Amino acid sequence: MYCDAPTYSRVFLQIGSLPIYWYGVIIAAGAFLGLLLATREANRLGMQKDLMVDLVVFAIPIAIICARIYYVIFEWKQYTSGPWWKPFAIWEGGIAIHGALIGAVLTAIIYAKAKKVSFWKLADIAAPSLILGQAIGRWGNFMNQEAHGGAMTEYAYTHFHQFVPDFIMNQMCIDGIMYYPTFLYESIWDLLVLIFLLVLRRKNPLKGVVFLSYLIAYSIGRFFIEGLRTDSLYIIGSLRTAQVISIVLILGAAILMIYRKFSGLADERYNGEKVLKK
């Protein structure tokens, strides 16, 4: 579908010759709000806030580095002919959520062992914050005009997307072609997952259930939305890499959840720990 609409600049603020990009500002905002949510949940479960703050201080930079490494590995061909610094140009976009997740989980495992606290408790506290950060972070893709779907048909626009605010659809007008705002689909899905996790955590589930439910719920949405995108990373057979990883995460999390329930770990339900009902 042809379009002609004004779009937003990727630059949030220009300080002399130094541009500050919307992408970085939005990612930082997501991390900050996620930290606020995590500290509130830590307080609810009787855990020291400092533990979560210290974890975030380590986890965020490691997660971003891992997310960039993951992306560059699968998109290496586009960096072989460019300047040497291109793989480090994270401000131009190009990070992968699955890479960030790998980095964050590994950091949490090491941190939990060092602090002698339950990894599963940390993971349960962090899960709503992770999905909140992802929901907000997708708007960085919006500003960069990336993570979109294929060219939109006139039928799809007139029957469905005409109800989407103009400022969103205008930004999806790239080089005269209107594209499906798949970044928006995923952001909305992430918010629905966030609501689900906030309700689930009030049910006092077994340790690890909130985090494993996050992996399953997010991966279900990601699997279907990924099939609509045009900028997916490496394709494995008829599936995109993110779809394959989503399947692995769904199956792995489900198996682990069943194993923990029936392997004598059912007593790990925060029993004996202070749970404040707010």
Render pLDDT for 118-171 as a digit per residue (tens, 0 to 9).
999 999 999 999 999 999 999 999 999 998 999 999 999 888 888 899 999 999
Please check whether residue 116 lies inside any domain of the structure.
yes
Of the two residues 80 and 178, the one the predictor is more confident about is 178
The average pLDDT across 12-37 equals: 92
Question: Can you tell me the mean pLDDT for 166-184?
Answer: 94
**In the prediction, which pLDDT does 238 show?**
80
What's the rounded Cα separation, in Å, for the pair 172 and 27?
Answer: 20
User: What is the average pLDDT value for the chain, to the nearest integer?
Assistant: 88
In a domain? residue 248: yes
Task: Classify each residue of 50-84 as buried b or exposed e, where b means 16 or more C-beta atoms within 10 Å of its C-beta.
Answer: ebbeebbeebbebbbebbbbbbbebeeeebeeeee
Question: So what's the pLDDT on residue 83?
Answer: 82
User: Is the residue at 245 inside a domain?
Assistant: yes
Report if residue 40 sits inside a domain: yes
Residue 225 belongs to domain spanning = 11-262
Q: Determine the pLDDT at residue 251.
A: 98
Q: How many domains does the chain contain in total?
A: 1
Q: How far apart are CA 223 and CA 218, in angstroms?
A: 9
Pairing status of strand 177-178 against strand 173-174: antiparallel
pTM of the predicted model as reported, rounded to 2 decimal places: 0.88
What is the enclosing helix (H) or strand (E) of 28? Answer: helix 22-44
Q: What is the pLDDT at residue 271?
A: 52
Residue 33 domain-assigned? yes
SS3 11: strand
